[in-house]
Amino acid sequence: MNIHIHPTHEALSRHAAKLIIDILTQNPSAVLGLATGGTPKRTYELLVEDHRKNGTSYQSVTAYNLDEYLGIPAEHETSYKTYMKRTLFDHIDIEPSQCFIPDGMTDDADRECLDYEDIIDTNPADIQILGIGRNGHIGFNEPATSFDSLTHRIMLDEKTRHDNARYFSTLSDVPKEAITMGIKSIMKAKHILLIASGKAKAAAIKAMLEGPVTPACPASALRNHDHVTVLLDEEAANHIKEAT
Ligand code: PGA
């Protein structure tokens, strides 16, 4: 694992954007595994800036996202599809038919999960971006999710629903279920890039890097992957030991 500690969220976002741009420069048909949330937002802004300034192209890129809420239409304000369009896809030259996000309105979630896993198997990610939850989740793989999990339907942890309530009018509007790539699906990526910022993430980062490798901390599974880059700001790195 390569761990880099940056002074600020801005600095780690610049590092993350550079890693992604370098991959696209070497391989214009790269496959990007994408995440939503507050942490990667600035990275996506920097990718848009680079696309405008330097013309980095996404025409041949395939992208898929980690997860989507169940029961929220794709065009709704709070869907992850809307987040991705507003933050990135609408501002770059990516082919919309090459951008995959689970269908939150599916009437056959099991079939949707199997089909999504097929997309991942056909297009292994050159780089998979991940945030981390305060409870150590990656994607929506909440604590106790099996390391062998593939794309599946999951009940959201109450901590996660509280953390995400900021995007909804009230806590009761936050969906209770989602479809998420499993931990095993995430581990299929060739390179995993986990980014974390702020003191609320410090305990989860410590558990991921220094605690036992256990489903109780889903992010600890990444210690079994041979190409992981972790970018932290100082606050998120605050609890880890010098030796780490
Ligand atoms: P955040 O979410 O980037 O909004 O903190 C990360 C996550 O829950 O995985």
Write the CATH number for 34. 3.40.50.1360
Q: How far is the CA of 89 from the centre of ligand 1 (A)?
A: 19
Q: Which stretches does DSSP call E strand in 9-109?
A: 31-34, 62-65, 67-69, 99-100
Question: Is there an atom of ligand 1 within 6 Å of 39 CB?
Answer: yes
Q: For a ligand 1 pocket test, name from 34, 132, 160 the mutation site with the most ligand atoms within 8 angstroms of its C-beta.
A: 132
Q: Is 210 within 8 Å of 239 (Cβ atoms)?
A: no
Q: For 159, phi and psi rounded to 5 degrees?
A: -60, -45
Q: What is the pLDDT of residue 12?
A: 98
* Residue 151, domain member (yes or no): yes
Q: What is the pLDDT of residue 243?
A: 85
Catalytic-labelled residue, pool 6, 9, 51, 137: 137
Spatial separation of the C-alpha atoms in residues 22 and 38, rounded to whole Å: 23
* Residue 239, domain member (yes or no): no
Tokens of 32: 């990007």
Residue keyed to tokens 């390391």: 147
Spatial separation of the C-alpha atoms in residues 61 and 74, rounded to whole Å: 21
How, if at all, do strands 177-180 and 67-69 pair? antiparallel
Q: Is 205 within 8 Å of 196 (Cβ atoms)?
A: yes
Place 228 in a pLDDT band, splitting at 50, 70 and 90: very high
Catalytic-labelled residue, pool 112, 142, 233, 235: 142
Domain that holds residue 191: 2-233
Spatial separation of the C-alpha atoms in residues 154 and 140, rounded to whole Å: 7
* Residue 43, domain member (yes or no): yes
Compute how many other C-beta atoms are within 10 angstroms of the C-beta atom of residue 28.
Answer: 13
Closest CA to 136 of 68, 57, 221: 221
Burial of 203 from C-beta contacts in 10 A (0-12 / 13-18 / 19+) = middle
Q: What is the pLDDT of residue 114?
A: 98
Three-class DSSP category at 31 = strand
Three-class DSSP category at 144 = coil
Q: Is 67 a catalytic residue?
A: yes
Q: What is the pLDDT of residue 242?
A: 87
Mean pLDDT of the region 60-89:
97
Q: What is the pLDDT of residue 188?
A: 98
* Residue 58, domain member (yes or no): yes
Q: What is the pTM of this model?
A: 0.97
Spatial separation of the C-alpha atoms in residues 139 and 35, rounded to whole Å: 7
* Residue 203, domain member (yes or no): yes
Q: Count of domains in the chain?
A: 1
Q: What is the pLDDT of residue 139?
A: 98
* Residue 159, domain member (yes or no): yes
Place 244 in a pLDDT band, splitting at 50, 70 and 90: confident
* Residue 133, domain member (yes or no): yes
Mean pLDDT of the region 130-140:
97
* Residue 169, domain member (yes or no): yes
Q: Does 213 score more than 90 pLDDT?
A: yes
Percent pLDDT > 90 in the chain is 99
Q: Which stretches does DSSP call E strand in 18-167?
A: 31-34, 62-65, 67-69, 99-100, 127-130, 152-155
